[in-house]
Amino acid sequence: MSVKTRVLVVDDSALVRNLLKEIINHQHDMECIGTANDALAAREMIRDLNPDVITLDVEMPHMDGIDFLGRLMRLRPMPVLMISTLTEHGADVTLKALELGAVDFVAKPRLGIENGLLELAQQIVEKIRIAAHAQVKRLPSLTLESVKRLRALNGASSERPLQTTQPLRLPSPLLSDKLICIGASTGGTEAVREVLAYMPADAPPIVIVQHMPAGFTASFAARLNELSTVSVTEAMHGEPLLPGHAYIAPGGKHFAVVRRVGRYMASIFDGDTVNRHKPSVDVLFRSVASSAGPNAIGIMLTGMGSDGASAMREMKAAGSYNYAQDQATCVVFGMPREAIAHGAVDSVLPLSQIGPAVLARLRKSIAPSMLLDEPPY
């Protein structure tokens, strides 16, 4: 007999607590072992019941979910699934929760909460299953607050990008041809941030699919933009993809790269889900294989499932060089594992080594005479 995943539900709404309890207890492989209406009650139940996974509301009395999560991850790290409201403020707070170590989140509707949560039941239980097997740890990367403190200590403006890497100084024709593409899912918000932290202001265009619903990707791009030297925005249909910029696929839309009049451009469109996702890494990577071929560098980061694996193999066949995050540093070693199994990956590296490896590869592609003024890498 298999052991069930034991879930503690923490939410200030009695209706939400009862709905989540019902959804969880209808599954053969999990059970709700308790519910708490605030962080204080949750703290006692965690100590007494030792749950495998916690679902945590953001807004609660006495202590909000973010403060509670921060304390929990410092004292007793465990898998946490955030239950967030689909608002701009909710998106910002959710991204803070992911930064603190939450595995994932579910965006609950503001209106029609009962029917809305029941419609999300399958998504909720799938994310609980993923959380139960996730590697819970805080990523060794700078937080927004620590970056601002460092800037203040150095006398730098908090509005000015923090240059952390030497510029590439790629010649213009070569720079316009290179393209970096990234796919990520569960655990990916912090992994993407760490890769971008290494990218200098003259990096080739970077295109990114992070599995995330509509309403959250604009906040995600804005938060990355505050922490990156490159300019990070949500991708817009028809815009040219420029050096020194990173583009996030809008939630609920597909993102493809097309080449027109000798330059890369963004194509944003609706359509069916691909590999169960929209945006889909498969869609982006397949377009990159066609439009960039050997000028592309592919990066597969932490995430559940197989989205992007077959398309990354197409990229490799077209001549790209591809990286995958290793199992030890993934929150969920699903998408990288599938890409490796498809024979799509040239190099498997810890997260902290992917950014430097990409830069080293780009520098090697530059003629030595163009690097006379570069410091040795």
- Cβ count within 10 A of residue 125: 19
pLDDT of residue 376: 38
Beta-carbon-side half-sphere exposure of residue 49 (alpha carbons within 13 Å): 21
369 catalytic? Reply is no
pLDDT of residue 373: 46
Catalytic pick among 84, 185, 228, 320? 185
Residue pair 33/6 in contact by the 8 Å Cβ criterion: yes
| Arch. (CATH architecture) of 5-132 | 3-Layer(aba) Sandwich (3.40)
- DSSP letter (8 states) at residue 189: H
SS3 at position 196: helix
Catalytic pick among 38, 84, 177, 211? 211
- 80 closest CA partner among 143, 131, 29: 131
CATH T-level assignment (fold) for domain 155-371: Rossmann fold (3.40.50)
25: its two tokens: 């207890």
Are 5-132 and 155-371 in the same CATH fold?
Answer: yes
Catalytic pick among 57, 177, 307, 326? 307
- Residues of the chain falling short of pLDDT 50: 139-142, 146-163, 173-174, 369-377
pLDDT of residue 150: 39
SS3 percent helix, strand, coil of the chain, rounded to 5, is 40, 20, 40
- 329 closest CA partner among 293, 353, 296: 353
pLDDT of residue 369: 41
DSSP lists the bridge partners of residue 246 as 206, 232
d(CA 260, CA 262): 5
d(CA 211, CA 273): 12
Residue pair 303/276 in contact by the 8 Å Cβ criterion: no
- 299 closest CA partner among 198, 219, 373: 198
pLDDT of residue 201: 92
Question: DSSP strand E in 66-143: where?
Answer: 80-85, 104-108
pLDDT of residue 370: 47
185 catalytic? Reply is yes
CA torsion sign for 204, 247, 355, 326 is negative
Domain boundaries, the chain: 5-132, 155-371
